Structure 1
Amino acid sequence: MVSRPNVVVVVMDTARARDVVRSAHRETRLPAIDRLAEEGTEYTNAFASAPWTLPSHAGLFTGTYSSKHGAHAGHKHLDEGLPTLAEAFRSNGYETVAVSNNTWISEEFGFARGFETLYKTWQYVQTDTDLGEVARTKRGSEMVRALAARLLDGNPAINAANAVYGQFFRKRTDDGARRTNEWLRGWLADRSSRKPFFTFVNYLEPHLEYHPPRALAEQYLPNGVTYDDAMAVSQDAWAYITGHESHTEADFDILHGLYNAEIAYLDRRIGDLRGYLEATGEWEDTVLVVTGDHGENIGDHGLMDHQYSLYDSLLHVPLVVAGGAFDGGGRVEDLVQLTDLAPTLLDAADLDAPAMRESIQGRSFHPDANADPRTHAIAEYMAPQPSMDALREQVGPLPDGFPYDRSLRAVRTDDDKLIRGSDGTRERYEVRTDPEESTDLADESSDRVAELETVLDDWLESFEHSEASGSVSMTDATKDRLEDLGYL
């Protein structure tokens, strides 16, 4: 029995609440997550602080918002200065381990601080040189030339092993979850330390592109649609958003089916992870968090992927916490944010961490914290990602009046929401009665818009903003992989 609990944080990359949180309209069958929700506490109104991976994870790791931590499309790095959860746990005697399936969550972008081990599943042998993208996307003589150009970077033998792994062994029906679990199972079985552990896991499913196993996909596709039919539907988000491709409602039904199958697949892997914790005798001493870093637009608001907006389809995420004081908590409908996880987990482990607690903007929702419920949630989108120039390079000319070259901020209460753009736009939705945010009431409710703007402005004036700016250097291999994921 450890004196302090283990803490495991699992991020289902790109998992939106509507397809994970238990409800009458949810289509997915998620026995592992549902079991955790039934035994622990399910927070049905949890919101990310940003709509994409890098700033959202930075907020989760530091308990702060994009304006304060400074990691966003304008500066793609979590700089030193703000303490992270991993640093706080490590300095308090925890073993700290991370497994990442998303290139953003790596040392290159500042996310390794505090972790004794950071395991990257896209590499067969852990190294700073990544040839996996070449092996996955090139064919024939083109692949040979591309590999030859990079093999001499770093260790040629390791690079070759990673290239072979990417070409022949890393299946496209698994974005790393299986290998993640194999590594975690071995680590849990082999560890001899009596220290408690803080473990972070980013599973990439259900991120675009959707490639679920055929058998699962066939359970969620519309009637009459085969797996081959589904895989023929374009998943080029940027071509769709810029009008270079069109999709029908039936196409989006198919994509939604593939997305649900990805979530169902990941549910199995989360169930396996729980099994490993049970088999090694760690489960009873573990607080397990399952959440999403952001959601996804699958035709929602005329968009695909998870950029260019702050609608709830991108911000509303699942959040389940099981173990310790969270067991038997039922369903909690209070507003919470991913920025609140940092102080909550410090409380769960009874860590002082004064430097981190001083910098945190989130508030603990630990059952023993006795904190007042949130009156509002905040989200920020500091700059478009990909940029307009990157979009033009990817798909060609942008349509006249293309509206997404802007930053956004949003403030949301239980009842309504304001989205404010740097281009002067204002959108207001009564989210309690219009959860799809289909009817913009900004022009009809100027007084309420002004009230919400005051809340937002007062919040912005309440803290010192990061001055981090400018581009961040990254290796060609990392650029290639991020491009493969659709980010660049």
Structure 2
Amino acid sequence: MPKNVLLITIDSYRADHFRPLTSLTHSIEYPPESPTLESVYEEGTSFTDAYTTGPGTSPSFPALLTGTLPLSYGGLGPLKPDRPRLSKELGKFGLETAGFQCNPFLSRHFDYDQGYDEFTDYQNPLMGVATRIFPRGIEISNPKLNKVDDVLHITAAIKKSYQLIKGKPRPYVSAEVITDDTVEWLSGTDQPFFCWTHYMDVHHPCYPPEQYRKRYDVEDVTQSQVSEWYSSLLREPEALTKSEIESLKQLYSAAIEYTDGQIGRIIDLLKNEDRYEDTLVIITSDHGELFGEHGQYGKPERMYDELLHVPLIVANGPDYLENDANDLVSLLDIPPMIHDVLGFDIPEEYEGRRPKIDEPREYILAEHEVDGEVIVGARSRNWLYEGDEIHDEHRLFDLRDGDFEQVPVSEHPDLLEKKVVLNRLRELDVDTRRLEDEVEGDVQSRLEDLGYL
């Protein structure tokens, strides 16, 4: 029985870009190489039909880290104190806990730091410069640096010079930095642990190191171009050429390969220290990304498979997990699975499926919220029903025979998926909270750079 947990999450990683799953979707011809993940896949269990609980970071991570649906507990925004936390629950059983991530939505500003003995979110002081020169960012609130700046203005000069050479800095730290800190922490603990490591490099604006860009013939693209292209992709995609959109796709694949290599460093550490087999390793993503499918780009408030279907690989788990490998699985099911595998009682507040107790899922529930208006989707094997209060419409899609065809809701009035969505909409009481009221300064600027605002 494992005594440790390593949860690795890769922001924006679509299931159909993971080679072992590409054959199921046939949506891309040349998926990126991911030798680390494929090795873990061969050793463990891969859930072929795993789905996240929303088409973005903020509606997906409550499921992963609190075991609750995203619009429970008043809706999105900072996590409320009464929400359960996987980190706190595992800490009660004596596990040392650590989190390493740089997504503003998952930072201490949104109360994701609760329950961790060590939590590094790189939010402050950080200007978003994630490079080989300044991998941890330029500290704008460092008192010593400020005194030097009063005379020499060195920070501004360095930033300006850097941008001239490399283009606009990325608004997150690199996978190498996240891995360095994860490895250092793991090397320093000999107690049972829960470690959550989250990578942003597959999230746009993607700009992996040159050696990875070369593999996809985009080594000459600058960071500034990537940022400009991605901004256009979200706001005015028709302004981009086919070549520019193709370059963004190539950078996305290159970033997957780069991140895979960094994950390999963590796996190698555990194996070299003979701790791998004692560790429940879980690798997944929070959502996908649209590259023109359904005539859209980025992460619209919709429940398409390209946004919800994610890789989910589990290594060193019990044999019974194989029984669920081809079932519908929600990321909401991960917290209760972790408790069950470690032999811990499953908190009643968790809303996910309990292994060996609950029946297989008939559908996946996903939801999102914008300024108090919500969309809820239920996806089964055959149907996707969306109750969209954001755009004041309900939609039904026929998924039978591998198709994705919108059909009139009135033709199928008694579907379970429709009843589930309507029930969820009736029970929701979502707080209307503007994102701009929740964050300030550096965090809001970085959210803007990431295309969230």
CA RMSD in angstroms comes to: 3.3
Residue 8 (1) aligns with residue 12 (2): no
Structure 1 residue 469: deviation in Å?
4.3
What secondary structure sits across from 2:214 in the alignment? helix
Range that drifts further, 107-116 or 452-461: 452-461
What secondary structure sits across from 2:240 in the alignment? coil
**Contact in 2 for aligned 1:230/1:254 (Cα 8 Å):** no
Alpha-carbon separation, structure 1, partners of 2:115 and 2:231: 36
**Contact in 2 for aligned 1:295/1:314 (Cα 8 Å):** yes
Indicate the residue corresponding to 1:189 in structure 2.
187
**Contact in 2 for aligned 1:62/1:85 (Cα 8 Å):** yes
**Contact in 2 for aligned 1:16/1:296 (Cα 8 Å):** yes
**Contact in 2 for aligned 1:39/1:327 (Cα 8 Å):** no
Alpha-carbon separation, structure 1, partners of 2:33 and 2:111: 36
Alpha-carbon separation, structure 2, partners of 1:344 and 1:236: 40
Indicate the residue corresponding to 1:392 in structure 2.
none
**Contact in 2 for aligned 1:58/1:69 (Cα 8 Å):** no
From 401, 414, 424, the counterpart of 2:381: 414
Indicate the residue corresponding to 1:458 in structure 2.
423
From 11, 14, 17, the counterpart of 2:15: 17
Indicate the residue corresponding to 2:91 in structure 1.
90
Indicate the residue corresponding to 1:277 in structure 2.
270
Cα separation, partners in 2 of 1:164 and 1:230, compared to 1, 3 Å: closer
Residue 130 (1) aligns with residue 95 (2): no
**Which amino acid in 1 is paired with 2:376?**
R
**Which amino acid in 2 is paired with 1:212?**
P
Structure 1 residue 318: deviation in Å?
0.7
Alpha-carbon separation, structure 1, partners of 2:279 and 2:15: 24
Within 5 A, what are the aligned runs for 1:187-266?
187-191=185-189, 193=190, 195-221=191-217, 226-228=218-220, 232=225, 236-243=229-236, 245-266=238-259
Indicate the residue corresponding to 2:134 in structure 1.
none
From 411, 428, 434, the counterpart of 1:446: 411
Alpha-carbon separation, structure 2, partners of 1:164 and 1:288: 41
Indicate the residue corresponding to 1:401 in structure 2.
none
Structure 1 residue 382: deviation in Å?
1.1
Q: TM-score, normalised by structure 1?
A: 0.78
Residues 57-97 of structure 1: per-residue CA shift (max 9 Å, x gap): 1221111112213352xxx2111101110000111111000
Alpha-carbon separation, structure 2, partners of 1:252 and 1:235: 12
Structure 1 residue 426: deviation in Å?
2.6
Within 5 A, what are the aligned runs for 1:32-71?
32-71=36-75
Alpha-carbon separation, structure 2, partners of 1:432 and 1:227: 42
What secondary structure sits across from 1:111 in the alignment? coil
Alpha-carbon separation, structure 1, partners of 2:294 and 2:222: 22
Structure 1 residue 429: deviation in Å?
2.0
Indicate the residue corresponding to 1:126 in structure 2.
none
**Which amino acid in 2 is paired with 1:383?**
V
**Which amino acid in 2 is paired with 1:111?**
Y
**Contact in 2 for aligned 1:252/1:299 (Cα 8 Å):** no
**Contact in 1 for aligned 2:19/2:31 (Cα 8 Å):** no
Residue 361 (1) aligns with residue 365 (2): no
**Contact in 1 for aligned 2:205/2:226 (Cα 8 Å):** no
Indicate the residue corresponding to 2:308 in structure 1.
315
Cα separation, partners in 2 of 1:254 and 1:434, compared to 1, 3 Å: farther
Indicate the residue corresponding to 2:108 in structure 1.
107
Indicate the residue corresponding to 1:336 in structure 2.
329
**Contact in 2 for aligned 1:37/1:330 (Cα 8 Å):** no
What secondary structure sits across from 1:317 in the alignment? coil
Alpha-carbon separation, structure 1, partners of 2:361 and 2:408: 23
Residue 116 (1) aligns with residue 108 (2): no
Q: TM-score, normalised by structure 2?
A: 0.84
Alpha-carbon separation, structure 1, partners of 2:311 and 2:62: 18
**Which amino acid in 2 is paired with 1:306?**
K
**Contact in 1 for aligned 2:19/2:33 (Cα 8 Å):** no
Structure 1 residue 46: deviation in Å?
0.7
Alpha-carbon separation, structure 2, partners of 1:46 and 1:186: 31
Structure 1 residue 257: deviation in Å?
1.5
Alpha-carbon separation, structure 2, partners of 1:235 and 1:207: 15
**Which amino acid in 2 is paired with 1:130?**
P
**Contact in 2 for aligned 1:50/1:380 (Cα 8 Å):** yes
Structure 1 residue 447: deviation in Å?
1.7
Alpha-carbon separation, structure 2, partners of 1:94 and 1:267: 26
Residues 294-352 of structure 1: per-residue CA shift (max 9 Å, x gap): 11112222322223322111111110000131599398221011111111111111112
Residues 33-62 of structure 1: per-residue CA shift (max 9 Å, x gap): 111111110011111111111221122111
**Contact in 1 for aligned 2:208/2:258 (Cα 8 Å):** yes
**Contact in 2 for aligned 1:59/1:69 (Cα 8 Å):** no
What secondary structure sits across from 2:246 in the alignment? helix
Indicate the residue corresponding to 2:360 in structure 1.
373
**Which amino acid in 2 is paired with 1:199?**
C
Cα separation, partners in 2 of 1:175 and 1:325, compared to 1, 3 Å: same
Alpha-carbon separation, structure 1, partners of 2:315 and 2:293: 31
- Identity level (%): 27
Structure 1 residue 288: deviation in Å?
0.4
Cα separation, partners in 2 of 1:351 and 1:467, compared to 1, 3 Å: farther
What secondary structure sits across from 2:71 in the alignment? helix
Alpha-carbon separation, structure 1, partners of 2:281 and 2:146: 35
Structure 1 residue 370: deviation in Å?
4.5
Alpha-carbon separation, structure 2, partners of 1:89 and 1:202: 18
Cα separation, partners in 2 of 1:323 and 1:481, compared to 1, 3 Å: same
**Which amino acid in 2 is paired with 1:253?**
E
From 393, 396, 407, the counterpart of 1:425: 393
What secondary structure sits across from 2:283 in the alignment? strand
**Which amino acid in 2 is paired with 1:213?**
P
Unaligned runs of at least 5 residues, structure 1? 124-128, 138-146, 385-404
**Contact in 1 for aligned 2:281/2:314 (Cα 8 Å):** yes
Alpha-carbon separation, structure 2, partners of 1:304 and 1:329: 35
Indicate the residue corresponding to 1:387 in structure 2.
none
Within 5 A, what are the aligned runs for 1:68-87?
68-72=72-76, 76-87=77-88
Alpha-carbon separation, structure 2, partners of 1:331 and 1:452: 21
